[in-house]
Amino acid sequence: MKDSHNDPISFSVKHLIENGIVQIHTDPNRPFLQVFGSVALQVALAQYSEWDRGIILGLQAPRKDFLYVPQADSSVALWMTSVEFKREVASVLQQYDPSNEAVVVMVVPPKVELFIARPNGVMDMVGISNVILTPMKMPTGVSFRKEQEGTTFYYVFTHKELGKLGRIVIKQQSPGQTEIKCEIVDNGGFSSKTKQRAEIFYPLAQQLIAGMELGLLK
């Protein structure tokens, strides 16, 4: 097996959002959405300086969290939305001003909403769609089985013609902290079968890992 996915596609900014709201929500007459917009913008500006363009992704179920997702991983992180919505988000990410605005996506099943947070805290909604809650389908000829060794779980994927493709490894490191990565079968170097396995396994594993990291898949 060859390790190929160690970097997370998102970074939790929940504590930054919550602390920011506590600090600036001192005027009871100021609309909460405007307070949130101001905080989301501050957090996004800080993340942009470190990671490049991206979205503030708010999750309301099954767990409440706020994540910063870099632009390159936005489609993967939004696997639970339609292709049209992903394209809309991608278009906004290309056009917004990252030094003065923030792109915010709120997932509140059954809806997902796309906003741009402005400098004055105003949250302009620019898109809305439905969350796709149907289970992900395996590609034709692909199956998987679940294995366990202690606190480590393995999802092993197999193709009926190419044999074993790879596996997703879920390792409990400490309470509340889990490592998720994928490993592809490597039979000692490049071959046409290795390339075929990678073309099938990588996109599938990436989507499944994204769902696990975002708390939307078990």
Q: Strand 54-59 relative to strand 102-108: parallel, antiparallel, unpaired?
A: parallel
Output phi, psi for 196, to 5 deg. Answer: -65, -40
CB 112 within 8 Å of CB 80: yes
CA atoms within a 13 Å half-sphere pointing along the CA-CB vector of 62: 9
Please report, as a single letter, which amino acid is at residue 145.
R
- Supply φ then ψ for residue 168, to 5 degrees: -100, 130
Strand order of the β-sheet with 2-3 is: 2-3, 177-184, 163-174, 152-159, 142-149
Tell me the residue type at 177: Q
Residue 123: the pLDDT is 95
Q: How confident is the model at residue 134 (pLDDT cuts 50, 70, 90)?
A: low
Confidence of residue 6 (pLDDT cuts 50, 70, 90): very low
Picking from 160, 149, 108, 152, the residue whose alpha carbon sits closest to that of residue 131 is: 108
Residue 93 pLDDT > 90 = yes
**Per-residue pLDDT averaged across 122-129, rounded?**
95
98: buried, middle or exposed (CB in 10 Å: 19+, 13-18, 0-12)? middle
Determine the average pLDDT of the residues in 56-63: 76
What tokens does 120 get?
Answer: 């004055």
Top mean-pLDDT range of 144-148, 164-168, 194-198: 164-168
- Asked whether the bond before 70 is cis by omega within 30 degrees of 0, the reply is no
Lowest mean pLDDT among 7-21, 65-79, 81-95, 188-202: 188-202
For 136-191, give the DSSP string.
Answer: PPPPTTEEEEEEEETTEEEEEEEETTTEEEEEEEEEEEETTEEEEEEEE---SS--
Rounded mean pLDDT of 115-132?
93
User: Is-contact 121 38, C-beta < 8 A?
Assistant: yes
Distances (CA, A) of 179 to 51, 62, 65, 173: 21, 19, 18, 7
What average pLDDT does this structure show over 121-133? Answer: 89
Instruction: Show Cβ contacts of residue 192 under 8 Å, excluding neighbours closer than 6 positions.
Output: none
- SS3 assignment, position 44: helix
Question: Whole-model pTM?
Answer: 0.65
Q: What is d(CA 37, CA 112) in angstroms, rounded to the nearest whole number? A: 17
Tokens of 65: 């969290």
Q: How does pLDDT run across 154-182, given as a tens digit for each residue?
A: 888 999 988 889 888 888 766 556 677 88
